[in-house]
Structures are given as structure tokens and as C-alpha cells.
Chain A
Amino acid sequence: MAFLAPLFFVGLAALAIPVLIHLTQREKKMVQQFPSLMFVRRIPYQTVRRRKIRDLALLMVRLAALALIIAAFARPFLWRPDAATAIGPGAREVVVLLDQSYSMAYGDRWDRAKAAARDAINGLGASDRASVVLFSSGADITMRSTGERDRLTASFEAATPTPAATRYGPALKVAGSILAESPLPRREVILISDFQRNGWRGEEGSRLPAGSTVTPVMIGGPTDAPDAAVTSVALARSTFSEQERVTLTAAVANRSDKPVVNDTITLEIAGRGVQTEPLNIEANGSASIAFAPFTVTSRNMRVSVRAGMDALAFDNLFDVVVSPAVPVRIVEVEGGTRAGSGLYLARALSIGDAPKFETVTRQATDVSDDDLRRASVVLLNDVDVSVGLGRRLARFVQDGGGLFVVAGPRATWPQEADVLPATLSQTIDRSRGEAGRIGGIEYGHPVFEVFRAPRTGDFAPSRFYAYRSVTALPMSQVLARFDGGTPALVERRVGSGRVLLFASTFDLSWTDLPLKPIFLPLIHRVIVYLANYSEPAPWLTIGQVFDPAASSAKSQAAGRLALSPSGRRLPLEDEGSQTQVLELTEQGFYEIRGQSANSDVTVIASNVDPAESDLTPMDPAEITAAATGNAASNGQAAESNVPLTPEAQERTQRLWWYLLCAGILLLGTDTLLSNWLSKA
């Protein structure tokens, strides 16, 4: 008899507690003086003696119950050194984890990994069973728990490295679930990988079931073949002759111990090489290659940077999608009677590259439907809005447009169009006495978030000599207030659009705000917010998820689908017309389009994770220790005829269960016995 957790027997000291209580009570028993025990002595002792015996029995029952429960916690088992022989060497559940990340494509690593997997499968005993799991950033069970070696081997023979990065955590979790379901007593994981440092993040929850062993098979070796990796590109936009140009700079790293000498790096546009530069990088060094600017002629230009062929091809290519910068189109509506009221606004909106602002100025009576259709934001600069214009603007906002109302002395708004966040009242004159200031700013709002940090913008120096008294509606949010408590900037969301109302002017008649440094960034933030503008990402990384519903790739056409770089068609809507996300698994350009021929097309560049090209290995014992909880666990444990571990023997016998049941039964008996004794 042996015990898995003999320390629990320290708990046997608890047995002394009832005995001590018993003894203590005996010592402390009350002595009752009585004149004579003449009569007491005549009463037979039978009652006393019987009670004592019963109490002793009760005590023994309690002690036995405690002892049994403690013994159960100590996890006893009958030690049988020949247990392994009895079960046989074949009774193993083996999970072969085969690293399929793109770093395994370096040199002959993949071939060696497959050979190791074959060896592992050929080493299976007659009664062993095995599963094959190919893993990279995810894990895929290609064959589950079988003893047929041919099927197991065939499940990975045709596989090739994927462009995904290495993550050991998901693979270990899958292996753990397979082992946990297995009835076989010996459980083993054979982990075949190059053990990249970047693939292990000390994942919690990747612990294998107790008694499992991990046999790491290192597919490493020297990194003596040159390996240039394009890790990133930078796009710098400029305008030349009213044409937008982009200068692309590629960052290239050499991940090997050999220098890259006399290699080339090529800029490709739409698959055609347009510029080739020599590439020379020292061992484990990096370089930056700037290409000549190219003109952006159309949307979704497919631009690639390709370094020369070397030992690891996956990281030689870096794709980006370049489109002309999309300006934020603004229609500035003026009242017309006050000249120059839009001067400062126009100046502020003429500056800016990311994004650019394209402003069209219109009189209130001249705003056309075409203007509204093209515009992202309408700016009403102190305008007396007619009912007709108000209704059209309300529709514009409902459809997702942004409306910025600058409420100067002439500003009105028709009640028929209910989109304004506040009602306008009289003008408050602060020209006499102390001028008004802005206080009470909601710095958590996207408009003011950039001004949250110290020295990033100060509204205090701005003076307001007059402003409109406005009353915010319940459904609106006050983003800034004047020092008197009157709302200064109020927001309301209507439909999918947004409306902001500023209760003063943007010229010098009522305020000196346009002269302050904060004016320009404030106007830019307001317009960007109202236009709901976001910079399109020029590329994504494999493993990331692309959500068509949340991007500018929204296509009006029904039945959208994605075309993968390998030509697979991936539907983006399920049967209920619900948009599905697209997980990027291939390297290259994804196309998202509607089913009709003239539908809008969105192109996404999908690149490999550059961190995966760093082949620095780690100590496999780290993963082994984390997965098994035992740093000493290694492949030696997988040898045949090794006796079963105490944990495995204990698990097969489960003596603790019977002991616990017996203990609980005794406790029940104790309850009955004590009840009976108390009644007796």
C-alpha cells in the first residue's frame, strides 16, 4: 500500500481533538458534594457503565470516520511494480503534435519533422493508439486516436508548412483534450517542432492531464543559410502635379548567421516588377530599402516587395494595398450676409493630409442633392435654415452623414426637422465684464480625447464675448460647457449619422477661438468624427480577422464573397444573410466583391507574421515543464516496459473513492448513534 499524498496524514492529528475534548471534559467535570452516597451507591452501576460503553463506541465511530476520510485524501493505492508489464507496452495514447508553421519551411526542417513523426508512429506498440495534430497558430486534428499506422502517416504526408506563425498553447490544449478522453493508462505527447522562442508565451491552461508525458523532438539545427525577411513597409504619400504619389520604404532583416550578399529586392506593382534594388545585409542585421515614388493611379493597387529567394521563402514577400487617399468631403453652408465668416474654417480645412479635406462652400439656398450625396459632412456656418433644407439635412443625417451646426446670431433651425441636439434660445452677451470661457469638457469623447493629456491643447485662453443659450435635449450629450454652465458643444446621434451643435461662431465676431492654436486640431477632430473616418489598413497579418461589416469594404451587392490568394471562394454571408468575418489564412491578396460584375471590389493584403521568421529556439524543457508540471518529464518516460507511474496506478484503482464512501457512511452512523444515545 502506498499513498500519492501522504502529507494528508498530518491531518490524523485531528483525531486527537475528540479524544482531547473527552479527556479535558473529564478533567473539568463538576464535583457535586452530597451528604451521603448511601442511596446512590445502592443504585446499580449498570446505567453508568452502559452509557460509557456507548460513548466509547460513538468516539470510535467518529475517529474511524475521520481516519477514513483522511486516508481517502492521501490517495492510497496498491503498489504493483509489474503493473506496466501486465498492461503491456502498447497501451499508450500518443498524440503527435507536428509544427506546421512557416518557419518549418526553413531548409529541410519540414522533411525532418515528417520523418520524426513517421518514427513516432512506427514506434507504436500493437495496443497503442495515436492521434496526429498539425498546428501553427491553431491546431487541426488530422487523425484521431487510432492504431492504424498507415492512416496516421498518410494524414500528414501531404501536408506542407502554412504561412501561419507558431503557437504551442492551442496545440497542447487539443492534445490535452484527446488524452483526457482516453481510457488508456499511459499518455504521451510527442511534440515535433523547431521550438521557436516567439511561439511560446507561457500559456496558462495548457496543462496536460496528470500522468501525461511530453517527448519533445527538436527539429532545429544551424541557421547558416541566408534568410532575408521583409518585416515591414512604410508608405509616405505626397502630391506631385496634382497626382498622388507614394514612396515605399521596406524594412528587411537577415535572420541567419550568414550575411545576405548580392541579393536583390524588387518592388512589384500588380505583379510586375517596377524597380529592383541590390540587397546586402550583415548576419543577423537589418536594412531599410527606399524605392522611388510611384503614382497612385487607381484604387486597390497591389504592391509587393519581394526579397531574393533564400532558405525561407515565406518571409521574402510583403504585400500592401495602395489606394488613393480618400478625402473627407465637406459642404460648408453659409448664410451669406456676413462676409468672411467662414474664413477661419476654410483655412483650417485646407490643411491636412491624413485625411485630406475637400470643402465645397454653398449658400443655404444653393445646396443641391448632389452636394449632399457626395458629402460626408455638412457644416452650417451660422445659417438660417429653411424647412426644406432642414428636412433634406435630416435625411442626410439619417443616412449616415455628419452635420455640424455653428449657431451664430442668425442661426435658426426648423422644428419640422428633428435632428438638432439642442434648442436655440437668445444670445448671451458677455462683452461687458469678464468674457466667457469653455470649461467642463468631456475628455473621454473622441473629439476631445487627443486633448486629454497635459500640454496637448488648452481651451482656457479662448474668450467668448457672446454665445447662444441652448437647451440640450434629453437624448443628446453635452460635450463642452461655457463657464456659466450653458452647453457649448452638444452631440446627438440620429439614425446612423451624427449631429454636433456649437453655440458660438467660428469667426472673430463672438470669440477669439479661431486665433488660438487649438482651433485647427479641434476642427479637424470634429470633422473626422462626424465623417466617421478611419484610415484603411494597407495590410493585415495572417491569423487576423477581417470584418467586412465594420470596414469601408461594405458592398451594396448582396451575396458578397471573398476570393482567397489561392483562388478559393469564401462566402461572407450565411444563409440568414448575416455577415461573417473572414479569417486570413493565406499569404497574398484577398478580394472581396459582390456577385454582380460591376460591384465594388475591396482588396486586402495578407502577410505572414514577421516574428515567425525569427528562428531563435527555446529550451523544450520549458514547454514540457509547463505542460506536465514536472520539469524532469521527458522522452525517457515513454520507453516501453516502464512501470506505471504512481498517479496512473492510483487512478486505475480509485481506492480513495471507497474510503470516502465508508467515511461518509460512518458519519451517518455516528449521527444515528448519537441521536439514539441522547434519547436513551
Chain B
Amino acid sequence: MSLAGGHAQGAIPGARFMDPAVLARIGNLELVARAVVDGFINGMHKAPYFGASVDFAEHRGYVPGDDIRRVDWKLWARTDRYYVKEYEAESNSNFSVLLDVSKSMNYGSTGITKLDYARILTACLTNLVHHQRDRVGLVTFDNDVVSFVPSSAKHMEVVLHTLENVTAGRPGSLKKPLQKLAEHFGRRGMLVVISDFYEEPDAVVDAIAPLRFRGNDLVVFHVLDKAELEFGFSDASAFEDLETGEQMPVVPEAFRKEYQSLVRAHLDALQQRFSANRVDYTVLDTSKPLDHALYRYLSSRSRMMKVR
């Protein structure tokens, strides 16, 4: 945990991730995820929480109904009382990724689209979680739920297959699909939402916050392309909205400052509102490696365990 926190600002020495654009060219997501996660884990060879889910936590007095297999017989021998062993964690928690596959995700100016970046990220996270024997699931959505893979320890392959086949084709909105999903995720687990959040901050938070209502841990990854952050275009041209097809004449030099400030305000607002709702929020630049995202996830995971 401390390691994760200590390295949250930068990459681990010796565990450099490959350029996302390079990863995107590797067709097999499983291979990509394994390469990334193995490299990541090798860099964290002393991770203390690996296997923590089976660590002993406490004893409690036996009450009728408890499984007698969990009675600590050695302690009975010493104390002549029945105690039941309690372990630190439920190792088989649910882990689901909610992936936005709206059309705006199909944008990339640096050789990798946001969707590809998100797919790799999803594959990596899923792989990582699968290593920990957790149940993995995947939901893709645009303005509705597109595909749904329920969380299961055996669904790793299905998740990867679904990720392989996912395409961005329709405009997206958060409210409707997430509302549906909030009702669905009844069991406490961990939800990771990956989207570009082209909606007003209040609407975004209103759509996402219900996911926490049943005790789910929420990690939000806001995936943005470098061009979306910096608006580094030079030629005056007509800008076309990928989702609506609307065109606008834009002189980038004249627009840049205002655009950047608007984006910054949007991100700040999201950050502020997610923090208020105790949602872990991370902005990801698709031109940067995945390690930052993985750290954020592990950090969040460790915090969840700490809380428990």
C-alpha cells in the first residue's frame, strides 16, 4: 500500500511501460494485458498485499449456525472455548469495468484512440484483478448498455473477447445506462468507469454517484486525448463533432486559450464533485503510459481494504 502511494507520481524504475501507441498495434489484448501487468508486478515484487485476502484477521466466539469447519480447534484445546477464525478479506470480490464506447471515444491524435487506450487499460486491470482471484466483469455502454459480462472468476476470457470486439458507433450519454447499472450492481464490489465524460459535471456526477449507493467502490478514469487537453491545432478549419456531425469554423490559435481554460474548469469541477462524493477520479492522457492508471487503481484498492 505504501509503495503504491509512494510511487503514484511516477513510473517504477525498471518497469517502464511501453508506449500506448505501440501497445495498440499489438492485436492480442490478452498478450498486451499480460505484458503490461507482469511488467508492472515485477516492478512491485514486494507488494505486501499480494495474497492479503487470505490473511488471518481475528477470532470470534462460535454461535450456533457457524460452520464447524471454521472452529479453531487449537484454540479450543488451549482455552476450552469455541472460537471461529475470521480472515482479513473476502478474496473473491466483484470487479467490473464500465466502459464508454460512445463515438467520441473513437478519437485519437497520437496514434491511439481513446477507446483503444481504454480497452488496454481495461484488459490490464482485469488481468491484474484476475491474478488476485477476483471476479471480473465488463459493461460497455454508449447511450444505453451495449454489452454486459457479469462478474465471474471464469469470465476473464469473455471479457477479453468482448473487449476485442467492441466498437464505437453511437453517440453516448451517461444517465440512462448508468441508471440501469446502478440497480444491477447490488453486491458490493469495485466498479471502474472509463469514459471521456462529455457532459456537464453535475450531470456526470448525478449519473455516476448512484453506483456507490450499494457500497460499491468507484474508480473513475477520465480518458482524454492530448489534442483535447491542449487543442494544439494550427490550421483554421471546420471542426466536426464526432457524435453529432455538427461543424463549426474554428481558428485554433484564437480558440486555444479559451478552450484550455474551459477544459481545465471542466476537469476541476469533475474533480471537486467526485471528491465530494468520495469517488476516486483520475484524468488519463492517452499519450502517456498506462502505469499511472494502474497505480490509481491499486491505490484505490488498497484504500478500500484499509477502510474495511
Told that A33-B240, A43-B262, A47-B255 touch, could you supply 8 new A-B pairs with CB distance under 8 A?
A29-B238, A34-B227, A35-B225, A35-B243, A36-B242, A37-B239, A39-B263, A39-B266
From B107, B235, B248, A40 is in contact (CB under 8 Å) with: B248
Q: A41-B248, A48-B249, A51-B251 are in contact. Are A34 and B239 (CB under 8 A)?
A: yes
Interface size on A, residues (CB 8 A): 18
A40-B251 Cα distance, complex, nearest whole Å: 10
6 A–B contacts, CB within 8 A, in A order: A30-B238, A33-B242, A35-B114, A35-B225, A38-B198, A42-B262
Bitwise, A285-311 to B at CB < 8 A (1) or not (0) is 000000000000000000000000000
Residues of B232-263 contacting chain A, CB below 8 A: 233, 235, 237-244, 246-251, 254-255, 258-259, 262-263
B127 at the interface (CB under 8 A from A): no
CB of A13 closer than 8 Å to a CB of B:
no
Quick one: which of A32, A35, A36, A42 contacts B250, CB cutoff 8 A?
A: A32
A43 to B256, CA, bound (A): 10
Say yes or no: A43 contacts B242, CB within 8 Å: no
Partner of B251, one of A37, A41, A47: A47
CB-nearest residue of chain A relative to B253? A47
Pair B251/A48 contact, Cβ less than 8 Å: yes
1/0 per position for B66-96, CB-CB distance to A under 8 A? 0000000000000000000000000000000
Question: In this assembly, does A236 line the interface, its C-beta being within 8 Å of a C-beta of chain B?
Answer: no
Let me know if A31 is at the binding interface, CB within 8 A. yes
B180 to chain A, nearest CB (A): 23
When the two chains form the complex, which single residue of A30, A39, A41, A42 contacts B237, counting CB atoms closer than 8 Å?
Answer: A30
* Residue B291 CB within 8 A of the other chain: no
Q: Contacts A39-B259, A43-B258, A43-B259 given; indicate if A32 touches B251 (C-beta within 8 A).
A: no
Residues of chain B in range 137-158 having any CB-CB distance to chain A below 8 Å: none
Query: Which residue on A lies nearest to B246, using beta carbons?
Result: A37
Question: Does the CB pair B238–A36 fall under 8 Å?
Answer: no
Q: B126: CB under 8 A from chain A?
A: no
B256 (CB) vs chain A CBs: closest residue: A43
Report Cα–Cα, A36/B263, bound state, in Å. Answer: 12
- Chain A, Cβ-Cβ closest to B247: A31
Of the listed residues A35, A40, A51, the one surrounded by the most CB atoms of chain B closer than 10 A to its CB is A35
For A31, give its contact among B196, B238, B255 (CB under 8 Å).
B238
Q: Does residue B104 face the partner (Cβ distance < 8 Å to A)?
A: yes
Q: Which residues of B contact A35 (CB under 8 A)?
A: 104-105, 107, 114, 196, 198, 225, 228, 241-243
* Residue from B196, B233, B254 with most neighbouring chain A CB atoms (10 Å): B254
Q: Are A47 and B254 in contact (CB under 8 A)?
A: yes
Interface residues of A in 5-41 (CB under 8 A from B): 29-41
Q: Mask for B264-284, Cβ within 8 A of A = 1, else 0?
A: 001000000000000000000
Nearest B-chain residue to A48, judged by Cβ: B249
Chain B residues contacting A39 (CB-CB under 8 Å) are 259, 262-263, 266
B105: min CB distance to chain A, Å? 8
**What B residues does A34 contact at CB under 8 A?**
107, 227-228, 239-242
Most chain B Cβ neighbours within 10 Å, of A29, A37, A51: A37
Q: How far is the CA of A412 from the CA of B283 in the complex (A)?
A: 116
Give A41's nearest chain B residue, CB to CB. Answer: B248
Most buried by A among B105, B228, B235, B248: B248
User: Is the CB–CB distance between B259 and A36 below 8 Å?
Assistant: no
Q: Tell whether, in the assembled complex, residue A40 and residue B266 are in contact, meaning their CB atoms are under 8 Å apart.
A: no
For B227, list chain A residues within 8 Å (CB).
34
Which residues of A lie under 8 Å from residue B255 when comparing CB positions?
Answer: 40, 43, 47
A37 touches B248 (CB 8 A): yes
Residues B262 and A36 in contact, CB atoms below 8 Å apart = no
Closest B residue, CB atoms, query A39? B262
How many Å from the CB of A526 to the closest CB on chain B?
87
Question: Which residues of chain B come closer than 8 Å to A43, judged between CB atoms?
Answer: 255, 258-259, 262
Please name all residues of chain A whose beta carbon is closer than 8 Å to the beta carbon of B251 when the two chains form the complex: 47-48, 51
Smallest CB–CB gap between A40 and chain B, Å? 6
The answer for the CA separation of A30 and B247 in the assembled complex, in Å, is 11
Identify the interface centre among A31, A33, A42: most chain B CB within 10 Å of its CB. Answer: A33
Q: B107–A33 contact, CB under 8 A? A: yes
Residue of B233, B254, B258 near A32 (CB, 8 A) is B233
Docked-complex contact B240 and A32, CB < 8 angstroms? yes
Residue in B235, B237, B239, B259 whose Cβ sees the most chain A Cβ within 10 Å: B239
A-side contacts of B244, CB under 8 Å: 37
- How far is the CB of B3 from the nearest CB of chain A, in Å? 35
Closest B residue to A50 by CB, please name it.
B254
Question: A31 to B246, alpha carbons, bound, how many Å?
Answer: 11
Contact A29:B196 (CB < 8 A) given known A37-B246, A47-B251 = no
Complexed CA–CA distance, A47 and B253 (Å): 11
Q: How far is the CA of A238 from the CA of B231 in the complex (A)?
A: 113
Within 8 A of B (CB), among A31-66: 31-43, 47-48, 51
Query: Smallest CB-CB separation from B198: which chain A residue?
Result: A36
Closest to B245 in A: A33
Question: What is the distance, in angstroms, from B268's C-beta to the closest C-beta of chain A?
Answer: 14
Mark interface residues in B168-199 (1 if CB within 8 Å of A CB, else 0): 00000000000000000000000000001010
- B137 nearest CB across to chain A (Å): 27
A286-B60 Cα distance, complex, nearest whole Å? 161
Assess the B262–A30 pair: CB atoms within 8 A: no
Bound: A40/B246 CA distance, A = 12
Q: Do A30 and B104 contact each other (CB < 8 Å), given the known contacts A36-B198, A43-B258? A: no
Docked CA distance A29–B249 (Å): 10
A36 to B105, CA, bound (A): 10
